[in-house]
Amino acid sequence: MLTRLQLFPEQASTLAPQTDALLLFLLGITAFFVVLIAGSIIVFMIRYRRRDPNEIPPSIHGSLALEVGWSVIPFILVMIVFFWGARLYATIARPPDDAINIDVVGKQWMWKVQHMEGRREINELHIPVGKPVKLTMTSEDVIHAFFVPAFRTKQDVVPGRYSTSWFEATKVGSYHLFCAEYCGTIHSGMIGHVVVMEPAEYQAWLQSGEAGAVPALTPAAAGAALFQAQGCPSCHAAGASQRGPQLAGLFGSTVQFEGGGSTLADENYLRESILRPQAHLVAGYPAIMPTYQGLLSEENVMQLIAYLKTLKPEGGKTP
């Protein structure tokens, strides 16, 4: 039985048609110039070949119109590709504000997924159709790459930092998930599936679990427990005993450094502050925080960050 030849993976996200349109435009331009240049070479070889050893070709002084044409036309095409690509890159790099947040940790050789509602998965990712999803990803060991061909999304997952990716699925179904960065001997086995569900089914799946199983803690709740277990309130709790920076409202604010400089308190800054607290000292506070490098797993760090995001300053508004 013959099957239909499929040159491209199925389009199953809002980014897929935009990515394919740019790719097809580039392929079209490439094919046009390949035919034009190769055809011109063949025509010139035949028409203007030397027929007599003593033949002397006429002197040619060039054509201003031709030189302007082959300079201006490629420039216009390159600018079209540049601005088109820059616009698409800006779309890919900026997750919508209402995106569902999901944490992902790559590890030889599996994908570990943590939903904000507490559900965990390995080598599977369940998401709702028609809802933007933002992945915050890191690696426990080597560089991986989170690749879903049907969504036209691929993002390197690097140890020691967070990278983000987002997509919005447009079709219900199951789609292949690959690691697109060679990560070791079983790299080819680091595969999984993204399962796209109707929103109501997705919510029911989030609330479901094995019969008799204890409901999983949300990342924020697990982070709150870790925060207490590691003795963090002894330095960061408000009051006379406070020796470290105030954490309520920290996420999303601007942090001033000792000796000058500042940064936005995003996920990467919070991760560095937990694992490498001496890298950037907050203005007005001594260098007394110990490092938690090697004491906390990547999942633990993500849980602490999820908890820190929930801490609001007095008044309930983040600065």
Residue 316 lies in a domain: no
Say how far apart CA 190 and CA 110 lie, in whole Å: 5
Question: Which of 15-24, 82-91, 290-299 is least confident?
Answer: 290-299
Q: Of 212, 236, 271, which residue sits at a domain end? A: 212
* 154 domain-assigned: yes
pLDDT digits 0-9 by tens, 138-194: 999 999 999 999 999 999 999 989 999 999 999 999 999 999 999 999 999 999 999
Identify the CATH number of the domain in which residue 172 sits. Answer: 2.60.40.420
Residues 284 and 252 in one domain: yes
Q: Are 228 and 304 contained in the same domain?
A: yes
Residue 124 reports pLDDT greater than 70: yes
User: How are beta strands 173-179 and 100-107 bridged, if at all?
Assistant: unpaired
Phi, psi at residue 237, to the nearest 5°?
A: -70, 140
Amino acid making up residue 31: A
Q: Render pLDDT for 42-84 as a digit per residue (tens, 0 to 9).
A: 998 988 887 787 878 778 777 888 888 889 999 999 999 999 9
State percent of the chain over pLDDT 90: 52
| Burial environment of residue 281 by CB neighbours within 10 A (0 to 12, 13 to 18, 19 or more) | middle
Reduced to 3 states (helix: H, G, I; strand: E, B; else coil), residue 291 is coil
Residue 166's pLDDT is what?
95
Mean pLDDT of 132-137: 95
**Is residue 304 packed enough to be buried (19+ CB in 10 Å), middle (13-18) or exposed (0-12)?**
buried
Are 35 and 181 members of one domain? yes
Q: How many domains does the chain have?
A: 2
Domain that holds residue 252: 219-310
Contacts of 118 (CB under 8 A, 6+ apart): 215, 216, 217, 218, 219, 221
- When pLDDT is cut at 50, 70 and 90, the band that residue 122 belongs to is very high
- Asked if residue 195 is part of any domain, the answer here is yes
Rounded Cα distance, 45 and 32, in Å = 20
Helix ranges, the chain (H): 15-47, 64-93, 199-207, 219-229, 233-236, 267-275, 298-310
Largest CA-CA distance found in the chain, in angstroms, rounded = 101
The total of other beta-carbon atoms located within 10 Å of residue 299's CB is 18
Within-domain flag for 64: no
Q: Kindly state the helix (H) or strand (E) to which residue 110 belongs, with its residue range.
A: strand 110-115
Domain shared by 116 and 250, yes or no:
no
Residue 34 lies in a domain: yes
Whether residue 144 sits in one domain with residue 33: yes
pLDDT for 41 beyond 80: yes
Assess contact for 223 and 305: CB atoms under 8 A. yes
Q: Does 247 fall in a domain?
A: yes
- Are 266 and 206 in the same domain? no
Residues 32, 151, single domain; the answer is yes
Of the chain, the end-to-end C-alpha distance in Å amounts to: 63
117 and 218 in contact (C-beta within 8 Å)? yes
State the average pLDDT for the chain: 88
Does the pLDDT value for residue 127 go beyond 80? yes
The 10s digit of each residue's pLDDT in 200-243 is 999 999 888 654 445 678 889 988 998 888 888 888 877 656 78
Q: What angle do CA 310, 315, 319 make, to 5 degrees?
A: 65
Identify whether 206 is part of a domain: yes
Per-range mean pLDDT, top range of 8-12, 115-119, 129-133, 252-256: 129-133
**252 and 189 in a common domain:** no
Give the pair of three-digit tokens for residue 196.
């796209």
Say what the pLDDT of residue 73 is. 92
Residue 120 to residue 217: CA distance in whole angstroms = 10
